[in-house]
């Protein structure tokens, strides 16, 4: 009994601490949004068939004035809870498209921009209209933009989500299913979803050398995706042997530290000029 009580007290103070931390992050995030101190970094995606950079993924970066770098894996869920994800997500799409246009103006073309979309934003009314407005604002065609979604999108209102995907496709926008293999419904939904790509989750790639099942799973995913006419991207490729295995397994696109870390726009421009020769 005594122990139970102690446990309960420990639990509540832990919970309190988490609630406070959450509120602190939310306040600080609002300051960061207001002062426009969030940044986007870009990570190249390499097409295995040609070796060229076929796309880049935009990733949010927050350098907290006191606490240093805070991962989007930490603050995106906070922003989703508070609703801050909507202005944040609008800013991300606008900025990523502006920078893709800027690349084009620098003579760097034939590259698509992938943007992660929170289900909270995706499910909002006017999402498709907003995407269309942004494309027009920056003079881009739909094919230059790729939206990365996750299966969690389908948990609430799958029919509506599928309808939204069809309307995005009508704009020419490409859809990638991120973190593939980590959800539950992957296989049953795959044939119903109007998507173009799947991104095999990093966890499968990471254990390639140590877990022989991962090699089999990866090759199975690639074969299945190709039968469904989907492009396959591997994320989190860190070593030469992972890259070689994935290329040999006919994975279409590779992304990871082995090729390049996410980098700021200026460095990206230099990187892209370098690989283009």
Which residues bind to Mg ion, rule: CB under 5 A?
116, 148, 178-179
Name the residue nearer to ligand C2E (CB basis): 117 or 221: 117
The nearest distance, CB 138 to ligand C2E, in angstroms, is 17
Binding partner selected for residue 71 from ligand C2E, Mg ion, none, CB under the kind-specific 5 to 8 Å limit: ligand C2E
CA distance 130 to 16: 38
One of 45, 54, 112, 118 touching ligand C2E (CB under 6 A): 118
Long-range contacts of 101-108 (CB under 8 A, 24+ apart): 101/138, 101/139, 101/140, 102/265, 103/268, 103/269, 103/272, 106/269, 108/269, 108/272, 108/273, 108/276
Q: Does 72 bind ligand C2E (CB under 6 A)?
A: yes
The nearest distance, CB 72 to Mg ion, in angstroms, is 9
Binding partner selected for residue 262 from ligand C2E, Mg ion, none, CB under the kind-specific 5 to 8 Å limit: ligand C2E
The nearest distance, CB 34 to Mg ion, in angstroms, is 26
- Looking at beta carbons, which residue is closest to ligand C2E? 256
236: left (phi over 0), alpha (psi -120 to 50) or beta: left
CA distance 271 to 265: 10
Assess contact for 135 and 142: CB atoms under 8 A: yes
Binding-site ranges for ligand C2E (CB under 6 A): 43, 59-60, 71-73, 76, 92, 116-118, 148, 178-179, 202, 235-238, 256-257, 262
């Amino acid at each position: 009994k005594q122990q139970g009580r102690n446990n309960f007290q420990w639990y509540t103070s832990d919970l309190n601490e988490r609630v406070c931390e959450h509120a602190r992050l939310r306040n600080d995030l609002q300051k960061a949004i207001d002062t426009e101190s969030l940044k986007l970094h870009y990570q190249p995606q390499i097409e295995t068939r040609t070796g060229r950079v076929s796309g880049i993924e935009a990733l949010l970066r927050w350098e907290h004035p006191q606490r240093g770098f805070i991962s989007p894996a930490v603050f995106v869920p906070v922003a989703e809870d508070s609703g801050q994800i909507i202005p944040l997500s609008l800013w991300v799409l606008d900025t990523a498209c502006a920078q893709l246009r800027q690349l084009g103006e620098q003579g760097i073309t034939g590259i698509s921009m992938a943007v992660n979309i929170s289900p909270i934003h995706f499910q909002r009314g006017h999402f498709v209209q907003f995407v269309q407005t942004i494309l027009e604002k920056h003079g881009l065609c739909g094919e230059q933009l790729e939206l990365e979604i996750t299966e969690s999108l389908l948990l609430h209102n799958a029919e509506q989500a599928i309808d939204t995907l069809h309307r995005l496709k009508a704009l020419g926008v490409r859809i990638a299913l991120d973190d593939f293999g980590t959800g539950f419904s992957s296989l049953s939904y795959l044939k119903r979803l109007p998507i173009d790509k799947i991104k095999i989750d990093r966890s499968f790639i990471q254990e390639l050398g140590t877990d022989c099942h991962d090699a089999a799973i990866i090759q199975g995913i690639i074969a299945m995706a190709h039968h469904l006419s989907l492009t396959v991207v591997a994320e989190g490729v860190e070593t030469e042997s992972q890259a070689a295995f994935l290329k040999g397994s006919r994975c279409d696109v590779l992304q990871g530290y082995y090729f390049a870390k996410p980098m700021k726009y200026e460095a990206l421009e230099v990187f892209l000029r370098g690989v283009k020769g």
